[in-house]
Every structure is written in C-alpha cells, then in structure tokens.
Amino acid sequence: MHIAFLTPEYPHKSVHYSAGIGTSIKNLATALVECGYECTLFIYGQKVNQIFVENGIHFHLIKQKQYKVGGFYFYRKYIQDYINNNSHGIDVIEAPDWTGITAFMKLKKPLVIRLHGSDTYFCHLEHRSQKKKNFLFEKWALRKANALTSVSNFTSQKTKTLFNLSFDITVIPNLIALKNFKPVGQQSKVPYILNFGSVIRKKGVIALAKAFNLLAQTNDEVHLKYLGKDVKDSLTGTMTSDLIKQEIDSEYHNRVVFLNQVPYEKVNSYINGASVVCLPSYAEAFPMTWLEAMALEKPLVTSNIGWAPELMIDETTGLMIHPDHTATFMHAIYRMLTDKEFALECGLNARKHLQSHFSKAQIIEKNIAFYQQVMNL
C-alpha cells in the first residue's frame, strides 16, 4: 500500500514551518514506512519546488504561487494538477481539514480527510468570528472526501454538528513514537514550569501566566518558560508574550523566559529539564504536545476540556484543571512541584498509559484498516 499526505507543514529543515499536524504526520508516515508501507508527502506553500527521498519517505515540496486574483482557487488547482501528475502507484491521499485545502480539487486517487481541527472548529471553541469563505471551503472539502477520520471523538462529534454532517467518521488517535522519547529523570537545578508549542491565547498561555503570578508570591525559586513561536493575538493585535507579561507582576518578570522556536530534535531536552509541564489549552483536537510530555514521564498539568479525557486520566497521568480557575490551577502546579512522589507516579503512569492505548502497533493497525476500507469503496 502507498499512502500520500497533503500538508502545509512538516518537521524538516527544508520545510519552512511545522506544528502539531506536521509532527503527527511525521510520526504516522515514519511508522508506516517502518512497517513496510510506502509514503509520499506533498507539502504545499513552500519557497521552492523540490523532490527528494529521505528515510524511505518521498518528499514533494510544492512552491507557493502568487496570482493577481482568485489565488485561493487557482493555487488549489495547481496543487491538484501537481498531485495528479505525480500520483502513479499511490493508493490513497490524505489531507487535513484545516482551511479546506481540497475544496476545489478533483484528485485521481481516493481522498480521505483527517480531522485535526478545522478553522471552524477552533473558532467555535474559542468563541471568535470566522471568515465565511473558510467555513465554506472546509464544508465543501469534507463533503467531497471519500471518507473522514478524526484524531478524537470530541473533534469528530463537534465537526459533525458544526458542518451538519450525517455520515460516519472513524476515530483514530495520533500515535507517539515512544522509542524517540527517553526520560532522563534529571531536572534543571533551577526549577521551571514549561509550556511548549505556539505562544497563543488558545493554548492557555495567558491563564498560565495568571496562575504563575500567584505561585511566584509563595515560591521564590520557580521560573516559567514558554518555548515556541510568539503569535500576534487575534483579539488585541498585541504580541501574546506582551499580554503574558501584563498578567505577571514586574518583580517576577526576571523569572519568565521566552524561547523562540528551537530545532525539533532539541525540544525534548527542555521537556526533560522541566519540573512541571503545563499545557492548559482551551482548544485542541488530540495534542501532540501532551503526548510528548507524557512519553517523557513529566509531571503534567493540563486543561480538562472536551478532548482531554480521551488522553489524560485525572489524578493518575497528571492533573486536569479548567484554565479559568486560576487559584485551583495554581494549586495543581504547586502540588506537582512539592509532592515529588505523586509527581513521579503520574509521570510513570502517563508513559504506561501511552504504551497500553496509543502504541505504534495499535494505531498503525487502525490506520491500515481504514485505508483499506477506503480503497474498497
């Protein structure tokens, strides 16, 4: 079987951007190749056209093209033609739901869309307005696909409601390559709380700042580190890092560190060094950051919204708190910092939970069965 992935992102030095979707595709594509299947990546929106093979995966970087008018349509058709001209031997093509990239495409191969969280989905969870064209593109893309799969049941059900979909959606969680995540059990000499991923409101980073401000009043050692790209806030037009600083008393500013994006392979060292990892997101689908922290056996504090119970077990794999409950949120972090035995047990349980429920073998088997079903439609 030969599976192709259409994506705007992927964690590779030749690709200019990557986030959670890119990481999840890399994990899946790498695991498929290791299991004897073929994989091709069509990565659009790039600076150059480039074709190469690395670790058994075929890369097609597709250059971003500019049009005087109708770029949203003509670039999609350009991608369509590129894929159709390079799809010999491919059995199934997978695309993400984000912005409905396949809305105007007529591909020669069966198309599946994986729900990582559409723009419609995230706008709904964040209670913010959405461009009408984004909703229409995403709706058209979903309705035209041969089949849909979702990384969580929560995302599946929300998407069906938002787009008024009547057909079934197969739920297959993201997988984590546990062999690539080796817990070291050694933390930084200066204790720090780590939040990693984009520094953006929906990730709960401002709520974390409020909780840290309370914590800093009783703990004069702990620092707070944000690791990820600083994003301009959609509500205020201010950089999110500046909004974070506004929530923290000036006397504690020297204990808050912003680290810009670092190479993907170096992120694990920051996670391993953290005393507590705190990921209080308001809007996710099935976050890779949570999986990575759990794989490294870190004391973890997350939000308790929607998708969360499909991945976390409160008081067992970590602590789950609504990010708006600032005092309770702060006490959860404090507990992880001070109750070392409990924190260690949560970390160990988290990795065991991944091994039992989200192993490579389990997730690959589900994906292959899904692709085969699509091919037989």
| Whole-number Å distance between alpha carbons of 297 and 344 | 8
CB within 8 Å of 183: residues ≥ 6 apart: 272, 295, 296, 297, 298, 347, 351
Q: Which domains does the chain have, with CATH numbers?
A: 2-175+359-375 (3.40.50.2000), 182-357 (3.40.50.2000)
pTM of the model: 0.93
DSSP structure string for 295-335: HTT--EEE--STTGGGT--BTTTBEE--TT-HHHHHHHHHH
346: part of which helix (H) or strand (E)?
helix 340-357
pLDDT for 273: 95
Range 108-126 average pLDDT: 97
Interval 164-192: pLDDT, tens? 999 899 999 999 989 889 998 777 889 99
Whether residue 261 has pLDDT greater than 80:
no
59: part of which helix (H) or strand (E)?
strand 57-63
CA 91 to chain centre: 26
